[in-house]
Amino acid sequence: MWSYAFKRAGTTAVTLLAASIIIFAFIHIVPGDPIYVLLGDTATPDQIDALRHQLGLDQPIILQYLTWAGHVLEGDLGRSIFFQAPVLSVIADGAETSTLLATMTMIWVAVIGVPIGMIAAVRHGTWLDQGLSGAAMLMASIPTFWVGLYLILIFAAWLGWFPSSGYPSIFEGGVVNLRYLVLPSLALAAPNAALILRLTRASMLDVSREDYVRTARAKGIRPWQVVRRHIWRNALLAVVSAFGFTFAALLSEAVVTETVFALPGIGRLVVQSILRRDYPVIQGVILVIVVVYLLINLIVDLSYRLLDPRVELQ
Amino acid sequence: MRYGPSVLMRGVVGLVTASFLLAQANAATLLREATIGEPPPLDVMLTTADVASVIGRHIFETLYALDSTYTPRPMLAESDGTEDGGRTIVIKLREGVLFHNGKEMTAKDVVASMTRWGSFGARGKLLMAAATSVEATGKYEVTLKLSAPNGAWKALIADVNGGLAIYPEDIAAKAGNRPIEQKDYIGTGPYKFVEWRPNRYVEVERFDGYKPVKEKGDGFAGARVAGFDKIRFIPVPDVGTRVSGVQAGDYDYAEMISGDLYESLSKDSSVQVQRTNAPIFGLFFMNSKQGILKDNYKLRRAIQTALDKSQALRVAFGPKDLWNAEGSIFPNGTPWYSTDGASNYSAHDPKKAKELAKEADYTGTPIRLLVSTNYQAHYDEASVFTRQLADAGINVQMMVVDWATLLKMRGQPEQWDIFVTHHSFAPDPLLLTFLNASYPGWWDSPEIGSLRAELINTTDPAARKSTWGKIQSLIYEQVPVMKVGDAYTYDIASPKLKGLNPNGPVFWNVSTK
Amino acid sequence: MSSNSATLWLRPFLARPVALAGLGVLLATVLAAIFAPWLSPYDPYAIDPLIRLTPPNVTHWFGTDQFGRDTLSRTIHSARMALLIGSGVVVFALATGVPAGVLSALFPRLGHLLMRMVDVLMAFPTLLLALGLIVILSPSVATVILAIGIGYMTTTTRIVYGLTLRLRAETYVEASRSMGAGAAWLISRHILPNLVSPLLVQASFVFAFAQLGAASLDFLGLGAPPDIPSWGNMLAESRTFITRAPWLLFFPGMMIVATAFSLNLVGDALRDRLDPRLRQVFGEKG
């Protein structure tokens, strides 16, 4: 177990190094320049050169990378060119929104996706199963921003049940501020719940084809009891790992939803930083996302292997 | 006994009401403003981004400020005088004006700010290129010496947008060309900077030490009274979300709403619309330095002749209330309004355009049009014109990039032939970007060179106006830029807000009472 | 293909009327794309500001947009962009993923290296990778295909890798290996033919998700150049008109949903006819 964990940690570190180099190279071949955005319309070439020099952007790229990597190893991700604040604090601020949004989304996904998936599996082959599976497929085919726009229109502008947009921190207004995340999390939950629903159904069906389940069934145990006693724990293994990856993806890939709902999340932070060429923020955020992704990957892997003794640790 | 419950009920209701009122009295009043996006650093001297100016205007102040007719009025200045035929300007400062750090503003602060602005300010060169010295000639007196008189000097220092905001001396002196740090956002305005939470908001709060001028508030000039304890400027990039947000009561004010919602929002009782009185205008810059359009006045006129500007305006801005197909660079009603050359503004004559293009020996070489989708209006205008030019046999190829890329590319003359941007209302022709020979487009023909010098060095308003008329004629002849037309942007606000400012979104003298 | 195998492919559709309907929608989309210039009542680029934002009526069935362009004609022409981007992404994902996956499975050393690289790429958030690429290469149809395709290149590689490992372990492959068969022969005789049906399933899901991905990029203003009609661009351009001119959002939105849904239905039906041994390699996500 431990040697496996160490080995995995080792490859994770190598992956991280490769990723950091790619990030850096990638970002600096983007055309455009933060200086232009910073100084605006009327900057003269002299002003531009002087500021570029001050920010160290005129140095060779390898030197820039080494300086950056050195600071990162000391835990310093640098300072944002635009926000004039440490990148780490900028990310932390966005992470609050993104984490809460992803968590709330996953709650919807769990509440909607898993039970309905189980129902579909138990009623396998009936019209109910076909209807539910079809509905899930339809949900997975609708663009989230399209749903988001209509959610705002109906539940915020017309009915006034939820706030339309934005998210003031819960550390300022208390947990009631979570109501700001209800609509966006619902928009995000729709396709993800659909995928989890289908996965739950499929893995339950897979498990139910196993011999021990057939035996139980042959002994005349009622279908729901078979599910409760034999199928559901095993089937859930696959679902749990899918949860991990969906959560990781939601942290950074909710850009479109964050834009529609004006949420101060990580996704929008990156997109905006890419558009403004705020290099330190882009580098920092992507690095953090990659680390989080690799960590979740590691945790999912290890827990999978812990939960299911049959999986060999190679 | 029969009345028991009812009395009790009344008591409870009364108590609840009282505590509610108490809570309201104690609660800080907060104004929530939905801006079009995250601002760049709020060092307003350096940046001309409107998002930064809107916030910065509450924190920083200028020596003069524009009233509702866009005439400069004293703000931090008390009075002024010129000597030596306009070459020496003496400005007396108001006494007792405090910075947010508690220190009094004196001539030293103004000198340091002016020096930094002259070297690094976005619009600093316009005035300070001719400066020979700036000195504190008293605790509250600043003397600026110029090598040649400047007829527009007051207008050039009357707004924070890339302008001469007054910073404390130590901050201005050490800042150089790098944007100042957040902790140095210290001005003399009615609100002071509190904090900037990325993508969440920029917060300012009432500055209790603020000392307003005596005159009544008028435009950006006159007394400024902070009606709210705090203002939050919240970036909401999606315009639909800004609208729903004000309708739902999540924001009190939202900027830059699309023209096509104007009519329905005007009838909507959950919002009030606030149309600006200062139009912005779209500009298509021609490359005067390199490429097919360089010195090619015939081809440029062919392009100009082919266009129907009102079509583009209608697409980009919607209802007729919000735009005006106006050929004069300055709108009617302003002192600089002129009809010189404006008959060529929007001919929409494809046949004549074809002839002109033929005379210019144009053979269908693609003309590269650089445009960004970050501003929907730019893109709308470019699409309409491309289509109209195609009808006149002029082959335009749109290069659609993001704004950051456009800003970089337009500085490289080999990359483009035309680029699209817009210009905000200017109180003086010298503030127009296309009169600046180093601005991309690089219009610097001998004719404009001499007219520009004339415009700068004349101090008599009537003479300056006639010079401007000649420049406008030249613009329609050499076509360094094409003006699309005047567009009146509008904002929306909660119906509770009183005293909104038609000059633009500022929230002093605004209240809910 | 013999008539026998043709019925084999059609069987899952005949059993499910919904899937058959999905196939019909896709066929209609393809026809719309091919015959767009003849089917559209108007030039999709022709602007006429005087009739802008007119609701659906007899002359303009789907109404007009803010330029006064005919929404129906633009919706029809957009089918071209949908097919182009969808098939572009599929071709890119297969052309890169299949060789990488097969070679990795057959040559373990190379496989180790390649799969590590896939790991690195997979650790990058796909949407951000796509956005970065688009800003670097400046928006164009090819960029969009590349940006979306990279995300599916990695998943395809993994799937092909898994399938090939399984196939290699199959006895008959083992047998022919022991008889001294070359890699080329092995690949062309045993591996590729067995990959066809699972890849067809993968392709239909990738095609479906590429539609949604492209729409998201268009919505952020980073997709296909905005002057090219595409459903995503139509939504992006008209999102502020959601109350003023709801038809502008309704029709293109419905087209995205319809094509993505149909592709998913078809993919699902195809998966059901797959060899159950191969089915396990597939996640439900495709």
* Residue-level pLDDT at B217: 93
Cross-chain Cβ contact B40/A85 below 8 Å: no
| C219 vs B215, higher pLDDT | B215
CATH number belonging to the domain at C16-282, selected among 1.10.10.410, 1.10.150.170, 1.10.3720.10, 1.10.150.120: 1.10.3720.10
B337 burial class (0-12, 13-18, 19+ CB within 10 angstroms)?
A: middle
* C257 at interface of A, judged by CB pairs closer than 8 A: yes
C268 vs A contacts (CB less than 8 Å): 137
What gap in Å lies between CA B32 and CA B92, rounded to an integer? 37
C68 vs B contacts (CB less than 8 Å): 315
CB atoms within 10 A of CB C56: 15
Band of residue C280 on the pLDDT scale cut at 50, 70, 90:
low
Q: Return the closest-CA partner of residue A81 out of B355, B46, B129.
A: B46
What gap in Å lies between CA B348 and CA B356, rounded to an integer? 13
- In a 3-state reduction of DSSP, which class is residue B372? strand
* Residue-level pLDDT at A41: 60
A268 vs B contacts (CB less than 8 Å): 199
| B276 vs B447, higher pLDDT | B447
What gap in Å lies between CA B390 and CA B291, rounded to an integer? 20
Mean pLDDT of B270-282: 90
pLDDT at residue B5 is higher than 50: no
Q: Return the closest-CA partner of residue B191 out of B204, B173, B203.
A: B204
Which range among A243-247, B154-158, C13-17, C281-285 shows the weakest confidence by mean pLDDT? C281-285
pLDDT at residue C284 is higher than 50: no
A169 vs B contacts (CB less than 8 Å): 200
Q: Return the closest-CA partner of residue C143 out of C135, C151, C155.
A: C135
- Predicted confidence (pLDDT) per residue in C28-79, tens digit: 999 999 998 999 999 888 888 888 888 999 999 999 988 889 999 999 999 9
- Predicted confidence (pLDDT) per residue in C159-184, tens digit: 898 888 888 777 666 666 666 667 77
Instruction: Give the minimum alpha-carbon distance from A67 to chain B in angstroms, rounded to a whole number.
Output: 21
Cross-chain Cβ contact A42/B439 below 8 Å: yes
What gap in Å lies between CA B300 and CA B91, rounded to an integer? 45
Strands B230-235 and B191-197: unpaired
Mean pLDDT of B355-365: 93
What gap in Å lies between CA C60 and CA C46, rounded to an integer? 13
Instruction: Report how far Cα B176 is from the mean position of its chain's Cα atoms.
Output: 24
Mean pLDDT of C112-139: 79
- Predicted confidence (pLDDT) per residue in B451-473, tens digit: 999 999 998 889 999 999 999 99
Q: Tokens representing C5? A: 């195998």
Instruction: Give the minimum alpha-carbon distance from A153 to chain B in angstroms, rounded to a whole number.
Output: 7
* Residue-level pLDDT at C94: 94
Number of separate helices (H) and strands (E) present in chain C: 13, 0
* Residue-level pLDDT at B34: 94
Cross-chain Cβ contact A39/B240 below 8 Å: no
Report residues of chain A scoring pLDDT below 70.
1-2, 31-32, 40-44, 212, 223, 228-230, 304-314
- Report residue B73: phi and psi, to 5°: -125, 150
Distances in Å between the alpha carbon of A47 and those of B46, B51, B75, B513?
Answer: 10, 21, 29, 46
Strands B396-401 and B367-372: parallel
Contacts of A14 (CB under 8 A, 6+ apart): C116
Range among A46-55, A147-156, B339-348, C6-15 with highest mean pLDDT value: B339-348
* B236 at interface of C, judged by CB pairs closer than 8 A: no
A75 burial class (0-12, 13-18, 19+ CB within 10 angstroms)?
A: exposed
Q: Write the residue in C67, C240, C244 that is nearest to B383 by C-beta.
A: C67
Pair B392, B385: CB distance under 8 Å: no
pLDDT at residue C81 is higher than 70: yes
* Residue-level pLDDT at B22: 44
- In a 3-state reduction of DSSP, which class is residue C240? helix
CB atoms within 10 A of CB A26: 17
* Residue-level pLDDT at C198: 84
How many C-alpha atoms does B433 have within 13 Å on its Cβ side? 26
Q: Write the residue in A37, A42, A269 that is nearest to B199 by C-beta.
A: A269
- Report residue A71: phi and psi, to 5°: -65, -40
* C283 at interface of A, judged by CB pairs closer than 8 A: yes
Band of residue B113 on the pLDDT scale cut at 50, 70, 90:
very high
* Residue-level pLDDT at C285: 36
Distances in Å between the alpha carbon of A229 and those of A204, A213, A234, B30, B76?
Answer: 13, 10, 10, 57, 80
What gap in Å lies between CA A297 and CA C123, rounded to an integer? 9
* Residue-level pLDDT at A308: 61
Q: For C189-211, b where at least 16 C-beta lie within 10 A, e where not — what string? A: ebbeebbebbbbbbbbbbbbbbb
- Predicted confidence (pLDDT) per residue in B142-158, tens digit: 999 999 999 899 999 99
Q: Write the residue in B243, B374, B384 that is nearest to C47 by C-beta.
A: B384
Cross-chain Cβ contact C67/B373 below 8 Å: no
Q: Tokens representing B165? A: 């905001």
pLDDT at residue C3 is higher than 70: no
Q: Write the residue in B238, B243, B400 that is nearest to C225 by C-beta.
A: B400
Q: Tell me, what's the ipTM? A: 0.80
Pair B503, B484: CB distance under 8 Å: no
The C-alpha torsion from C105 through C106 and C111 to C115, rounded to 10°, is -20
pLDDT at residue B96 is higher than 90: yes
Cross-chain Cβ contact A80/B198 below 8 Å: yes
Distances in Å between the alpha carbon of C14 and those of A288, C199, C259?
Answer: 49, 21, 20
Please calculate the CA angle A279-B398-B436 and round it to the nearest 5 degrees. 70
Domain boundaries, chain C: 16-282
Residue of A nearest to C212 (CA): A143
Q: Tokens representing A114? A: 């898993």
Q: Which helix (H) or strand (E) holds B234?
A: strand B230-235
* Residue-level pLDDT at C128: 76
What gap in Å lies between CA A189 and CA A203, rounded to an integer? 20
Q: Write the residue in A146, A202, A271 that is nearest to C284 by C-beta.
A: A202
- Predicted confidence (pLDDT) per residue in C199-229, tens digit: 888 898 899 989 999 998 888 888 888 778 9
A255 vs C contacts (CB less than 8 Å): 127-128, 131, 216, 220
